[in-house]
Amino acid sequence: MNRLAVFCGASIGFKPTYAQAAKNVGEYFAKHNIGLVYGGGKIGMMGAIADTILENGGEVLGVIPDLLRQEEVAHTKITKMIVTKNMSKRKVKISKLVDGYIALAGGFGTLDEIFEALTLGQLGIENKPIGILNTHHFFDPLLQQLDLMVQEGFLKQSNRDMVFVHENIDQLISLMQKYRAPTLGKVVHTVATK
């Protein structure tokens, strides 16, 4: 995996463990020559990861919609900033640049982005690994919801298994490197190829 998208908060959160997790991700990426593709901000979790990678000589690509350049306080010192017309074009651009996705603690935007990646994988439009760094058990309730979806018949277990989860970035990347896309059913395969 040469480049990974990281979805995370424009806030740093209340507990210092979240900022430390972001820095750990940045250090891991720089050490292993993994380029970061992210939302382009210089604040919050996004800024902490980007700054750590830059401090360690790594590559940081930001993809930001024009309307959020001021809202998200665009990072001015990254390797490259790509400006898109809107949020949907941002997601498409990120998708074209990366070999996989990781979510860290964040809000609505983080969940939107990671679930879009999961949906693309479920439909067979993409076959990229998707990881969740579960710092301080942040994603436990969400993971319980996914398990309930399987239990109640709204999500296949094979699709639930697409989500790799660990609290340690080294272990999470190791799991993601073993990813094999789920086999598609006839209905999903037909939809995905149209």
pTM for the whole thing? 0.91
- Please say whether the beta carbons of 105 and 21 come within 8 A: yes
pLDDT digits (tens, 9 = 90+) for 30-42: 999 999 999 999 9
CATH number of 3-193: 3.40.50.450
pLDDT in tens, the chain (194 residues): 999 999 999 999 999 999 999 999 999 999 999 999 999 999 999 999 999 999 999 999 999 988 777 655 789 899 999 999 999 999 999 999 999 999 999 999 999 999 999 999 999 999 999 999 999 999 999 999 999 999 999 999 999 999 999 999 999 999 999 998 887 765 454 445 44
- Please name the amino acid found at residue 122: Q
Rg (CA), the chain: 16
Please report how many Cα atoms fall inside a 13 Å half-sphere around the Cα of residue 109, on the Cβ side: 19
pLDDT at 186: 52
Q: Are strands 35-38 and 3-7 parallel, antiparallel or unpaired?
A: parallel
Helices within the chain (DSSP H only): 16-31, 44-55, 87-97, 108-122, 140-151, 157-160, 169-176, 186-193
pLDDT at 31: 98
pLDDT at 182: 80
